Chains A and B, each alone.
Chain A
Amino acid sequence: MAGDGGVGAAVKPAAFEYSVPDTLEEALELIGAESRPLAGGQSLVPLLNFRLARPARLVDVNRIPELAYLRKDGAALRIGALTRQVALERSPLVAAEWPLLREATRNVGHAQIRSRGTVGGSVAHADPTAELPVAFTALDARFHLRSSSGARTLGSEELFRWPYTTALAPDEMLVEIEVPPLPQGARAGFVEHARTHGDFAVAGAAVVLAPGRYAAVALLGAGPKPLRAEQAESALLEGAPAREVAALAAELAGGGYPRALMADLVRRAAEEAGA
């Protein structure tokens, strides 16, 4: 206990109760407004250390094996919420069929963060500068939520609401992210700008392109949540050059520097995707 003397009592976070269920059902019974899930902890633990977050209870979901998987089911990719970011980064399946996810993940923090950070945690935390929410937005991913009383599935547009704010109810947990297949031969580009490597991004762009069939442009840092640049997507689908697509997308960013930066990032991402 704090105060029972010596350096042994060194603590940073405020006190909390700790539960470590080994099934999803048990976890869902436990979570609520004052009882928050702890996944990789790469965002939550700093908040605890600063005492910006003071939950009464943490429900550690790291020992629930049924939440950690990465597999192809039919043509779609299914990612369990507890899947570590490093698993996404190293998966040959992801590299071959959803290369955008690999590129985006390589930009998440550092290797020491990705080893522990989870895919679902990054989505549920909804940091407006996070890479994975933007990549999933570009890929039309579906987010599967569970609570002790039911289940529902949301798209990116419905899930992400505001910085650090999603449509998840206090007793709901994100359990799976489902990524639909891309047309054969689709290419992708993910480019971001951060002050130093691995730092929070200032802006970024995710582009997916299968010429004539599919085009997606999603922006990081152009608003309070991941944004799709629809006009830029239409132009890209019709074969517009990268520079023109970039100018259209950048209209969603603020003027001056943010717009110039966004135009450059989208152009480079579009070129990587073959535009």
Chain B
Amino acid sequence: MRVAVEINGEHHEREVEPRTLLSDFIRHELGLTGTKVGCEHGVCGACTVQLGGEPVRSCLMLAVQANNLSLRTIEGLGDDPEHPLLRAFHEHHALQCGFCTAGFLMSLEPFLRDNAEPGEEEIREALAGNLCRCTGYLGIVEAVKQAAGEIKPA
């Protein structure tokens, strides 16, 4: 089945089986390996990408479902090393092995867009859909607090 998608502003077209997951499509077909695959049943959040500006689990979508839609992956955010969220993660050591990081960033970026001054409780709730098995959550919470002060909500 033919799938045409726009990812980070670039057009891609491939022939896939309907059962191909969007996460596998992004990684294996398009070679965009910044998106990580963890649990593959919607729990860990490592594969989070953005669809229409909202965070979604790419392991819970079929590639064919993204036909004619626009997605954004970590490669679309990572192009800007001065992005306040990326810089805050760096400065607060908000990652150890880094496997979960792309998922966290793709979830947090829309959260900060919608929440100008999140409290610690709200930040922790926003992080709840992403698992970090290095358990580096404190650094992540600190990074979000710093970035929240710098990002202007849309």
Question: Which residues of A are in contact with B by a Cβ distance under 8 Å?
Answer: 1-2, 7-8, 10-18, 20, 38, 41-42, 45-46, 48-50, 58, 60, 62, 86, 109-113, 115-116, 196-198
CB distance from A82 to the nearest CB of B (A): 13
B65 CB-CB contact with A under 8 Å? yes
For B41-57 the 0/1 string (1 means CB < 8 A from A) is: 11001001001001111
Query: A112 with B18: in contact, given A10-B24, A42-B60, A46-B60 (CB under 8 Å)?
Result: no
In the complex where A18-B1, A18-B62 touch, is A1 in contact with B17 (Cβ < 8 A)?
Answer: yes
Count, A-B residue pairs, CB within 8 A: 100
Contact: B107 with A111, CB < 8 Å?
A: yes
* Among B78-86, B90-98, B122-130, the stretch in contact with A: B122-130
On chain B, the residues within 8 Å of A11 by CB distance are 17, 19-21, 24
A18 to B18, CA, bound (A): 6
Shortest B69–chain A CB gap in Å is 10
* Closest residue on chain B to residue A1 by CB atoms: B17
The smallest C-beta distance from A20 to any residue of chain B, in angstroms, reads: 8
**A49 with B54: CB separation less than 8 A:** no
Specify which chain B residues have a CB less than 8 angstroms from the CB of A13 in the assembled complex: 19, 21
C-alpha gap A115/B110 in the complex (Å): 11
User: Which of B19, B40, B67, B110 has a CB less than 8 Å from the CB of A16?
Assistant: B19
Q: Assuming A49-B41, A110-B45, A111-B107, is B60 touching A116 (CB within 8 A)? A: yes
Q: Report yes or no: A14 in contact with B128, Cβ–Cβ below 8 A.
A: no
> What B residues does A42 contact at CB under 8 A?
42, 57, 60
Chain B residues closer than 8 Å to A48, beta-carbon distance: 19
Residues on B with beta carbons closer than 8 Å to the beta carbon of A46 = 41-42, 60
**B132: Cβ under 8 A from any A Cβ:** no
Known contacts A110-B45, A111-B129, A197-B125; can you find 14 more A-B pairs with CB under 8 A? A10-B20, A10-B24, A11-B19, A12-B40, A15-B17, A20-B67, A41-B65, A62-B65, A109-B129, A111-B111, A112-B55, A113-B129, A116-B60, A196-B128
Given contacts A12-B40, A113-B42, A115-B56, contact A197 B128 (CB under 8 A): yes
A10, A17, A197, most chain B CB atoms within 10 A: A10
Q: Which residues of chain B have C-beta atoms less than 8 A from A60's C-beta?
A: 62, 64-65
Min CB–CB distance B47 → chain A (angstroms): 9
**Contact A18 B107, CB 8 Å, known A112-B56, A112-B129, A116-B56:** no
Minimum distance in angstroms from A179 CB to a CB of chain B: 24
Nearest neighbor of A40 in chain B, beta-carbon distance = B60
Which residues on the B side are within 8 Å of A196 (C-beta)?
128
Question: Among A7, A49, A109, which residue has its beta carbon within 8 angstroms of that of B21?
Answer: A49
A45: contacting residue among B1, B54, B62, CB under 8 A: B62
Interface contact B20-A45, CB-CB below 8 Å:
no
Residue of A nearest to B37 (CB): A10
Q: Can you give 23 A-B contacts (C-beta < 8 A)?
A: A7-B28, A8-B28, A10-B20, A11-B19, A13-B19, A13-B21, A15-B17, A15-B18, A20-B67, A38-B62, A42-B42, A42-B60, A45-B42, A50-B41, A60-B64, A110-B128, A110-B129, A111-B126, A111-B129, A112-B45, A116-B51, A116-B60, A196-B128
Asked if B138 is at the interface of the complex by the 8 Å CB criterion, the answer is no
CB closest residue in chain B, given A90: B114
Encode B7-42 as 1/0 by CB contact (under 8 A) with A. 000000000011111001000110000000000111
Q: How far is the CB of A238 from chain B (nearest CB, A)?
A: 36
Closest residue of B by beta carbon distance from A57: B18
